[in-house]
Amino acid sequence: MIHIKTLATLVLLAISTVYSFAQRGTVSGNVVDDATGEPLISAIITCSTSKGGGYSDFEGNFMASFDAGARDISIKLVSYKGEIVAAVEVLADGNIAIGTIRLKSKAEEALKGGVTIRVKKSTTSSSALITAQKKSVNLMDGTSKQAMAKVGDGDAAAAASRVTGVSVDGGYVFVRGLGDRYTKTVLNGMELPGLDPDKNTIQMDIFPSNLIDNIVVLKSFTPNLAGDFTGGWVDVQTSDFQAKEVFAVSASLGYNPAMSFNGDYVTHNDGIGEVFAAGKGSRKIPFGETKAIPFSQYTQRNGGAQQAQENANAFSKELGATQQMSLLNTAFNINYGNQINKDKKTYGYNLAAGYSNKFNYYDQALYQTYIKDEDKSINELVLSEKNNGRLGVNEVLWSVLANGSYKKGRNSWSTTLFHTQNGVKKTSKLMYQNAANPFGDAGAQLDKSVLYYNQRTLTSLLVEHTLKNDSGWSFVAKISPSVSSNDEPDMRITALSFDENEDYRFNIGAGSEVTRLYRNITELNLNAKWDAERIVYLANKLETKVKFGAANNVKNRSFGVFQYNYLPVGNFSLNGDPNQITEEYLFNANTKEGFTLFGEPQASNAFNATLNVAAVYAMNEYPLTKRLLAIYGVRLEKADMYYTGENTSNLSYSNEKVLDELNVLPALNLLFRATPDINVRLAGTRTLARPSFKEKSLAQILDPISGRTFIGNLDLQQTEVTNLDIRFEKFMKRGELISVSGFYKNFTNPIEIVVFKPETPTNFTPRNALSAKVYGAEFELKRGLSIMGINHFSVATNASYIVSTVQMTPQEITGKTNELRTGQTIGTTREMQGQAPYIINVGVNYEKKEQGINANLSYNVQGPKLAIVGIGRLPDVYTESFHSLNFKASYSFMKMDIAQLSFSVDNILADDNLQVYSGFQARDQIFTQLVPQRTFKVGFSYSIK
């Protein structure tokens, strides 16, 4: 109900705003570069005799509002010669189109026709990003809001996977096969805190696509960027205000025949907070703080038993899964933005909010463990453990974005506030069978209920000031504080052993347990940057850009795990319902029997760490010839990392400096503009990768969720990378391009997470491998098919082929050699973890603009990736290719296409998410299998521009 009210208020507000423009009219048009025909962004549209005005947007379009009457419209842009369109008749309540305005570059002007000017006919297809790509001094790829809308991707992770060379795994972006360690995700150019205890970076699926304008991926380093990326710099650019008033609402409903309205769906504790992705509140530790409760408490005199009973009773009694019908997937979005021009001042603002609620249900979720046979002459893998059963997932994601800009004269200020919150509730009811596990009790069967909730939030503020003066200087200062948190509160695992007679027992030896887990990670990040840039004209009238600046980024992470367990005092006959333990057999102070709760803080499973990186840089874009631009420079980075924590051997660090590095990072990019439409690029750069907080530490952290112990390594060196890139790009009509790239990266001291030693397969540690190499090629084509006589159709396709080799550590080689099968040999290298050998995207789009029809069929596939590095008798695990084929069609109608209906089908091929064990001359065996099935979605949106 709250939603409907808010929506109604906003609709009313928007309508009244529209009516307040009654005595005025609008002028619309498109601004392009006269020489290249490419759209120009941020051109200022004003009139000397009327208030109001506007800016051109990313695609060069503008819609400016003025008082009715005959007006001289002025169009200006820095470093371009201004134009005036005289005596435009502005109609009250109407719009007059003044067509395409071509601005001449001052530099081109200075050249006096040194370059052949070929004015291209502008088209209506999306091209802003491609224009940016063409002009960029870095190697750049990306995807735009328009592309995301056409394909129908709901979050940034799905959208990013459409970008050349990008694959996504578990919300994490891999660029050119390089994962979080080598790929940096930033928000509006500013660094973000991380959300995963095992990773440096943030998951992309937390950004909803409706609040994003563009995802830009920079693949070559320039000194103005932070030096700790190698694969890609992934910049999520949030929605900015438009040159015109925009109000848009949309809603969609998704139906999956296998998952929606399914009565078998399993769930737990429907606290009201979960609807708003805020389920953490109802899952707090009841004592407020983590408190030590010894198991022996009940034996203590003076009310120990009473205390034990109270403590056990303080927690939620719910341990089992509840069967309940799943609902439809829903999503709502709302957006309002405007620009106001007043006395040479410009105000712009944009408010956006989105909400989505999804249900997934897997009635045959399968998780297995296979091991190599004890007998080395047997190749087939042996089933060790099997978990199968029902899994219900409910995911809520909501976000708000507010940004405001103010511009007066040469100064502009802008501020953006972004908050996103994601709540995932997973409920599973599984049957566990222990087949031949040498690590546990053979033949054991467990009935396992797992109640899990994960709440992730990110709040980020960005304040920005730009000053441009007449002598060609521009200064940009940016400051961005942000905070993120990732909570896994009150994860409940109840495992009861049972036999064929349905006789349930709490059998420790067979693996029975009742556990409650709490895990939290909170990270604060403060990023400040100052950049100066000046354009200078050389004697030969070519333009050179001098840039320098400074930046500082400090991040602080705190991490903690807390666990409570129940153990029975006495013997109880169980019926298999996990709630029976808490409802019937909880510890009773009178009988001094029952399931007793205990737990305590563990200093070795918590840490707090800080990283400060200070940097200065200087760079220059220098035209060696009219067509050859050299972009060169150097960045200096000083990094200091501090760690507070203790290990299980009582060794503790208090704010101990564990990393102190000063690095010089040079970069040379060459851009050869063979023709105005063809770029050839070459780049040679040095970048680095730093160990994460817990990697360079004395940590010995037992993660109860994975059951793995992570051991820090104080001897770890940071990784240094040499990057070589080459790319050929040809830009055709607007929105069309073809590009071919090649890259080669050489890593010194690459960090790999490996098993500490072969006999401890659950103890992991980061180690420097000797070296690693990554090389590959990329191809991209965006093209209309009218040249082939097929009208209204266009294709967008890209393909990447990546090869990586990493030198294995001696421990890994020993661990593998010990378990080689007869006739099997291994080398000293393997591929990098998480790297897809190939990535293919194919999209076909049909657009009939005059009838408001758009249809898109998109296909994405990533080659099999090494997910878990096997050691000893544990084989390697690969994530199999997921063949994603999606379709979306939309129909826009009513005046100016303000309403749109859409229909989409996701996963048309009904492919399944599959991870498999891979052994030498052995059949692949399933590690995890989830079948998402097809989802059908209808959507409606309404927007006034």
CA dihedral 308, 309, 312, 317 (to 10 degrees): 180
Sole window of 135-143, 288-296, 403-411, 666-674 interacting with other proteins (rule: CB under 8 A): 288-296
Q: Does 604 bind other proteins (CB under 8 A)?
A: yes
- Using CA atoms, how far apart are residues 67 and 70, in angstroms rounded to an integer? 9
326-359: b or e for each residue (b if 16 or more CB lie within 10 Å)?
bbbbbbbbbbbbbbebeeeebebbbbbbbbbbbb
Of the candidates 459, 667, 523, 665, the residue with the CA atom closest to the CA atom of residue 196: 523
- Using CA atoms, how far apart are residues 906 and 328, in angstroms rounded to an integer? 15
Shortest Å distance, C-beta 237 to other proteins: 42
Shortest Å distance, C-beta 763 to other proteins: 4
- Annotate each residue in 677-716 with x if it binds other proteins (CB under 8 A) or - if it does not, as one string: -----------------------x-x-x--x-x-x-----
Shortest Å distance, C-beta 700 to other proteins: 4
DSSP string, 123-167: -SS--HHHHHHHH-SS-EEEEEHHHHHHHT--BHHHHHTTSTTEE
Q: Which is nearer to other proteins, 499 or 897 (CB)?
A: 499
Residue 221, SS3?
A: coil
Interface positions, 205-234, toward other proteins (CB under 8 A): none
* Helices then strands, each counted (H, E), the chain: 8, 50
- Using CA atoms, how far apart are residues 315 and 576, in angstroms rounded to an integer? 20
Of the candidates 830, 855, 833, the residue with the CA atom closest to the CA atom of residue 845: 855
Q: How many CA atoms lie within 13 A of 746 on its CB side?
A: 4
| Residue 281: both structure tokens together | 């509140």
Among 48, 571, 590, 825, binds other proteins (CB under 8 A): 571
Among 511, 645, 834, 875, binds other proteins (CB under 8 A): 511
Interface positions, 903-932, toward other proteins (CB under 8 A): none
- Using CA atoms, how far apart are residues 544 and 536, in angstroms rounded to an integer? 5
Phi, psi of 406 (to 5 degrees): -140, 130
Q: Does 295 bind other proteins (CB under 8 A)?
A: yes
Sole window of 86-94, 208-216, 434-442, 718-726 interacting with other proteins (rule: CB under 8 A): 434-442
Shortest Å distance, C-beta 870 to other proteins: 12
- In total, the chain counts a number of residues equal to 945
Q: Does 453 bind other proteins (CB under 8 A)?
A: no
Interface positions, 819-838, toward other proteins (CB under 8 A): 819
Residue 923, SS3?
A: coil
Shortest Å distance, C-beta 283 to other proteins: 21
Handedness of CA 761, 718, 773, 884 (dihedral sign): positive
Q: Does 756 bind other proteins (CB under 8 A)?
A: yes
Q: What share of the chain is helix, strand, coil (3-state, %, to 5)?
A: 10, 55, 35
Sole window of 188-196, 199-207, 644-652, 842-850 interacting with other proteins (rule: CB under 8 A): 644-652
Q: Does 513 bind other proteins (CB under 8 A)?
A: yes
Q: Does 644 bind other proteins (CB under 8 A)?
A: no
- Using CA atoms, how far apart are residues 329 and 937, in angstroms rounded to an integer? 8
Interface positions, 857-876, toward other proteins (CB under 8 A): 872-873
DSSP string, 633-648: EEEEEEEEEEEEEE-T
Shortest Å distance, C-beta 434 to other proteins: 11
Among 502, 650, 788, 895, binds other proteins (CB under 8 A): 650
| Residue 311: both structure tokens together | 């403590």
Among 265, 595, 598, 642, binds other proteins (CB under 8 A): 598
Sole window of 218-226, 502-510, 612-620, 831-839 interacting with other proteins (rule: CB under 8 A): 502-510
Residue pair 242/213 in contact (Cβ under 8 Å)? The answer is no
Among 99, 438, 810, 823, binds other proteins (CB under 8 A): 438
Of the candidates 18, 410, 32, 78, the residue with the CA atom closest to the CA atom of residue 248: 18
Amino acid at 478: K
Q: Which is nearer to other proteins, 515 or 746 (CB)?
A: 515
| Residue 593: both structure tokens together | 């029997």
Q: Which is nearer to other proteins, 100 or 602 (CB)?
A: 602
Q: Does 301 bind other proteins (CB under 8 A)?
A: yes
Among 100, 323, 330, 760, binds other proteins (CB under 8 A): 760
Shortest Å distance, C-beta 493 to other proteins: 9
Pairing of strands 652-675, 329-342: unpaired
| Residue 714: both structure tokens together | 């104080």
Q: Which is nearer to other proteins, 442 or 538 (CB)?
A: 442
- Using CA atoms, how far apart are residues 278 and 485, in angstroms rounded to an integer? 12
Sole window of 243-251, 546-554, 600-608, 902-910 interacting with other proteins (rule: CB under 8 A): 600-608
Sole window of 406-414, 562-570, 667-675, 930-938 interacting with other proteins (rule: CB under 8 A): 562-570
Give the binding-site size for other proteins (rule: CB under 8 A): 59
| Residue 345: both structure tokens together | 């001042």
Residue pair 701/649 in contact (Cβ under 8 Å)? The answer is no
Shortest Å distance, C-beta 650 to other proteins: 5
Q: Does 154 bind other proteins (CB under 8 A)?
A: no
- Using CA atoms, how far apart are residues 736 and 121, in angstroms rounded to an integer? 13
| Residue 415: both structure tokens together | 């501020």
- The distance between the two most distant Cα atoms of the chain, rounded to a whole number of Å, is 99
- Annotate each residue in 376-395 with x if it binds other proteins (CB under 8 A) or - if it does not, as one string: x-------------------
Q: Does 648 bind other proteins (CB under 8 A)?
A: yes
Q: Does 305 bind other proteins (CB under 8 A)?
A: no
Among 113, 509, 789, 827, binds other proteins (CB under 8 A): 509
Shortest Å distance, C-beta 440 to other proteins: 8
- Using CA atoms, how far apart are residues 883 and 156, in angstroms rounded to an integer? 19
Sole window of 134-142, 207-215, 448-456, 598-606 interacting with other proteins (rule: CB under 8 A): 598-606
Residue pair 244/943 in contact (Cβ under 8 Å)? The answer is no
Shortest Å distance, C-beta 592 to other proteins: 8
Q: Which is nearer to other proteins, 300 or 540 (CB)?
A: 300
Shortest Å distance, C-beta 611 to other proteins: 23
Shortest Å distance, C-beta 909 to other proteins: 38
Shortest Å distance, C-beta 835 to other proteins: 26
Q: Which residues bind other proteins (CB under 8 A)?
A: 294-296, 299-301, 374, 376, 436, 438, 442-443, 505-511, 513, 563, 565, 567-571, 592-593, 598-600, 602-605, 647-650, 700, 702, 704, 707, 709, 711, 756-760, 763, 765, 814-815, 818-819, 872-873
